[in-house]
Amino acid sequence: MKHIESVVDLVETKRHQYISLANNIWSFAEMRYAEFRSAELHAAQIEQSGFKVRRGVAGMPTAFVAEAGSGGPVIGFLGEYDALAGLSQESGALSCMPAAGAENGNGHGCGHHLLGTAAHLAAVVARDYFAANNIGATVRFYGCPAEEAAAGKTFMARDGLFDDLDVALSWHPSVANSVFMNATLANVQAYFRFHGKASHAALAPHLGRSALDAAELMNIGVNYLREHMPDQARVHFAYINSGGISTNVIPVLAEVLYTIRSPRSDDAMDLFKRVKDIAEGAALMTGTRLEIVFDKAVSNVLHNDTLDHVLDRNMRAIGGFDVSADETRFATAIQSTIAEEDLANSSRHFAAALRDPRPIVPEILPYSPDVVRPVTGSTDVGDVSWVVPTTQCLTACYAFGTGFHSWQMVSQGKLSLAHKGMLLAAKTLAATAIDLAGKPDTLLQAREELLRKRGRRPYACPIPPDVLPPPARA
C-alpha cells in the first residue's frame, strides 16, 4: 500500500482549491437539471487540470464527462452537485434560518457540493499519480446532474456513457466513515392526469364526469394494493392538482404524482404496471380519460463485495481523522436541535457507532458485508452499478444523527468537519482507484461478480426510450 502516502500528500497540497470549489457550489445551491454554474465551475476547473471535457452529454446541458490519461483500465469517478428546494440555511447557525443574501431558496441538504468536489479531486489525484508513475490508465470524472428526485445518471447510463468503464467509484457525505453498505430501493415515478367533463354540480351533475373522483378512486385502489406488495416496497403519492376550489363545478382536471419503490427494479416496474391498471380502472369507473406522464426511474444499487473489500482496505490504511474541541462543541450543540427519534433513526444505520454514541464519529467503522443492509432511499448510482462494477464509501461530514435533507445538514455544509470528511473521501476514492489499476485479476473478479448478481436480468434502463430529460430551466 505504498501509494497511500502519495495520495494523502497529493490531496493535502490541493485542499484549499477544492474546499473553495465546494464552498462556491454550496452557495450556488442549484436545483436538478439547472446546475449551470456548478457544472461549469467543475468542468472549467478540471479542464484546467488537463482533462478533456465533453459538455451537455445525454441530452442534459449540465451533464459532462471529463477524461485524462490513456490505456490501462478505465476508471470512473461519479460526482453530483444538485441542491434541494426550500432548504436555504445560514452556514453554521444553530437554528433554522434562510441564508442571508441567498439567491434562491435552495440549500445543499444532501451534501452534493462535497460529493462532486471529492470525486473531482480524486480523479485529478489518481491521474497525477498514474502520470508520475508511468502507469497506463484512463481516468474519467462524470459530472452527473439531477440526482435529487431525478435520474441524471439513469439517462447517462441509457446513453451508454458508462459502458466501457472497468470500475465506477463514488461516495456520499454522511455521519460516519465506512463502506456504503445500505440497500437502496429502485423507483419509478409518474404523473397520473385524469380528464373529466365540467358541469354545474347542482343543475346538471349527470352531465359531468369528475376527474377528482377518478384520482380519489385511484388512491383508494392503491391503498388496497399495499397489502400485496413485496416486502420493503413503498408507494407514495402527492396531489398535483386536486380539481380546483369550486364545489359547484364538476372538476375537469385532477392529477396525482406517484413514486413506486421496491428493492428490485423488476419488482418496481411490475408494481408500476399494477398502479397503472388501478388508474385505468378508476378512469373506467368515472368515465374520465387517463393520461400517464412518465417522470423518472432508477435501479437499485448492486453492491460489489470484491470492490467493497478493496475500498475498505484503502480507507482503513488512510485512517479516520482527529476532531477539534470546537468541532465537538458545535456538533454537540447541533445534536441538541435534533429530536430523539431522528437520532435513533440515524443510529439504526450505524449500529457500531450507536454502541458508543459521540457527537462526531471520526474513525473508520467496521466493514461487515454479511450484515443485513438497512434500506435507505433511492439513488441513480443504482443504474451505474448494473452496468459497471461500482463501489462507494460514506464519510463523516456531519455531527452524528444529522438527518439528510434537513436544515442542520445545510448549516454544517461549509464547516471544517464537512471538509475533513470530503478530503477523506477524495483520498479513499483515489487510493482505491490506484490500488485497483494494479490488480487486473481483482477487476476481472469484480466484473464476474456483477454478471453473477445480474443473473438473468441484464441491465434494462427503467426509463422508456421516448422519455427525455426534462428541459433545463435556469
Q: Are 167 and 308 in contact (CB under 8 A)?
A: no
- Of residues 277 through 336, those in contact with Zn ion by CB under 5 A are none
Smallest separation (angstroms) from Zn ion to the CB of 110: 3
Closest to 32 (Cα-Cα) out of 141, 118, 150 = 150
Q: Between residues 149 and 201, which has the closer beta carbon with respect to Zn ion? A: 149
Q: Between residues 109 and 362, which has the closer beta carbon with respect to Zn ion? A: 109
Three-state secondary structure along 143-200? EECCCCCCCHHHHHHHCCCCCCCCEEEEEEEECCEEECCCECCEEEEEEEEEECECCE
Q: Between residues 110 and 260, which has the closer beta carbon with respect to Zn ion? A: 110
Please classify residue 471 by burial: count the beta carbons closer than 10 Å to its beta carbon, then call 0-12 exposed, 13-18 middle and 19+ buried: exposed
Smallest separation (angstroms) from Zn ion to the CB of 456: 31
Mark residues 81-110: x for contact with Zn ion by CB under 5 A, - for none.
-----------------------------x
Smallest separation (angstroms) from Zn ion to the CB of 184: 11
Smallest separation (angstroms) from Zn ion to the CB of 413: 12
Q: Between residues 105 and 377, which has the closer beta carbon with respect to Zn ion? A: 377
Largest CA distance in the chain: 84
Q: Between residues 115 and 211, which has the closer beta carbon with respect to Zn ion? A: 115
Q: Between residues 167 and 409, which has the closer beta carbon with respect to Zn ion? A: 409
Smallest separation (angstroms) from Zn ion to the CB of 287: 43
Smallest separation (angstroms) from Zn ion to the CB of 149: 11
Smallest separation (angstroms) from Zn ion to the CB of 95: 24
Q: Between residues 74 and 110, which has the closer beta carbon with respect to Zn ion? A: 110
Q: Between residues 110 and 124, which has the closer beta carbon with respect to Zn ion? A: 110
Q: Between residues 138 and 411, which has the closer beta carbon with respect to Zn ion? A: 411
> How far apart are the C-alpha atoms of 411 and 109, rounded to whole Å?
9
Q: Which residue is nearest to Zn ion (CB)?
A: 110
Smallest separation (angstroms) from Zn ion to the CB of 147: 6
Closest to 144 (Cα-Cα) out of 173, 108, 115 = 115
Residues that contact Zn ion, how many (by CB under 5 A): 1
> How far apart are the C-alpha atoms of 214 and 9, rounded to whole Å?
62
Mark residues 104-143: x for contact with Zn ion by CB under 5 A, - for none.
------x---------------------------------
**Which backbone phi and psi does 48 adopt, to 5 degrees?**
-65, -25
Smallest separation (angstroms) from Zn ion to the CB of 73: 27
Enumerate binding residues for Zn ion (CB under 5 A): 110
